[in-house]
């Protein structure tokens, strides 16, 4: 691709947007390690545009979700890892302009650089065509990920879900206890128990922290009591 073609052709073919001001998109696809205008300011703007567009789409797609649920769903889409994955799917890394140092160290594959560039791209589309142009592009880029989001009830961690499950059935809350902590302080493995006395149930969990071990134990407890008819009695 010649310099005259960059980045208009890429934006049209891969993003599905017809750019008007190519200077915006040149900056969006230029890392600060390269010479010339870079994407730092566009990244700042694009972060806000992306969050707004995703928030609106989630608001429409999950009409029964609470504010907290919507925030948790949005976090699954606009954090660094999923943004970088969307950028990779676009082949954005191969179109980035990087300084020689970043280029030689594989910066076009780095998660943070890809995520930042995607945000900058959203900022460029917003400045070029307004929110009305940016929203459908973002909705299209994230459509598959939004469709694959879990049910709202699955967003809460296992300990919270177990507590709510038991409370809704007027059952006693679980009891957690550390059974062992092995290994050096910086690399310990914890084993904990989770007990629901009223059901006569007790399971164990392991993890690299007490919290992770408790979460695993809670997940196992949920799996057991969901098949226990005593746990299904009405409140």
Average pLDDT over residues 170-198: 91
CA separation for the pair 3, 6 (Å, rounded): 5
Domain 156-232 grouped into CATH 3.40.50.1000: no
Most confident of 97-106, 178-187, 191-200: 191-200
CA separation for the pair 73, 87 (Å, rounded): 19
Q: Hey, which residues are catalytic here?
A: 47, 119
Give the DSSP H or E segment for 217: helix 210-225
Average pLDDT over residues 194-198: 94
Residue 103's pLDDT is what? 82
Backbone angles phi, psi at 180, to 5 degrees: -165, 155
In this predicted model, which residue has the larger pLDDT, 226 or 87?
87
Residue 234's pLDDT is what? 42
Task: Give the list of residues 6+ apart from residue 219 with CB closer than 8 angstroms, or none.
Answer: 158, 205
Average pLDDT over residues 180-196: 89
Residue 1's pLDDT is what? 47
* 8 A C-beta contact, residue 233 and residue 169: yes
pTM of the model: 0.68
Separation of CA 94 from chain center: 23
CA separation for the pair 189, 71 (Å, rounded): 32
Average pLDDT over residues 45-63: 96
Domain spans of the chain?
8-150, 156-232
Tokens 């302080």 belong to residue: 185
Backbone angles phi, psi at 201, to 5 degrees: -110, 140
* 8 A C-beta contact, residue 50 and residue 162: no
**Confidence bin at 96 (pLDDT 50/70/90):** very high
Percent of the chain with pLDDT over 70: 94
Mean pLDDT of the residues in the chain: 90
Q: What is 8-150's CATH superfamily? A: Ribonuclease III domain (1.10.1520.10)
Query: At how many degrees (to 10) do helices 111-129 and 40-61 cross?
Result: 80
Q: Does the fold of domain 156-232 match that of domain 8-150?
A: no
DSSP sequence for 125-190: HHHHH-HHHHHHHHHHHTHHHHHTPPPGGGSS-HHHHHHHHHHHTTPPPPEEEEEEEES-GGG-EE
Output the CA angle 177-178-180, nearest 5 degrees: 150
């Amino acid at each position: 691709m010649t310099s005259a073609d960059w980045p208009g052709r890429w934006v049209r073919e891969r993003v599905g947007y017809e750019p008007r001001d190519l200077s915006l998109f040149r900056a969006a696809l230029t890392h600060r390690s390269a010479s010339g205008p870079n994407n730092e300011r566009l990244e700042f703007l694009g972060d806000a545009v992306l969050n707004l567009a995703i928030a609106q789409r989630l608001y429409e797609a999950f009409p029964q979700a609470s504010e907290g649920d919507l925030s948790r769903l949005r976090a699954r889409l606009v954090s660094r890892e999923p943004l970088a994955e969307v950028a990779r799917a676009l082949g954005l890394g191969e179109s980035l302009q990087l300084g020689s140092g970043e280029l030689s160290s594989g910066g076009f594959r780095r998660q943070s650089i890809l995520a930042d560039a995607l945000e900058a791209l959203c900022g460029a589309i917003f400045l070029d065509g307004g929110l009305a142009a940016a929203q459908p592009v973002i909705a299209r880029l994230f459509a598959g990920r939004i469709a694959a989001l879990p049910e709202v009830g699955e967003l809460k961690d296992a300990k919270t879900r177990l507590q709510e499950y038991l409370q809704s059935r007027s059952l006693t809350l679980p009891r957690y206890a550390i059974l062992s902590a092995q290994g050096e302080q910086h690399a310990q493995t914890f084993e904990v128990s989770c007990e629901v006395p009223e059901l006569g149930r007790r399971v164990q969990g392991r993890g690299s922290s007490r919290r992770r071990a408790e979460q695993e134990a809670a997940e196992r407890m949920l799996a057991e009591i969901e098949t226990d008819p005593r746990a299904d009695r009405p409140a």
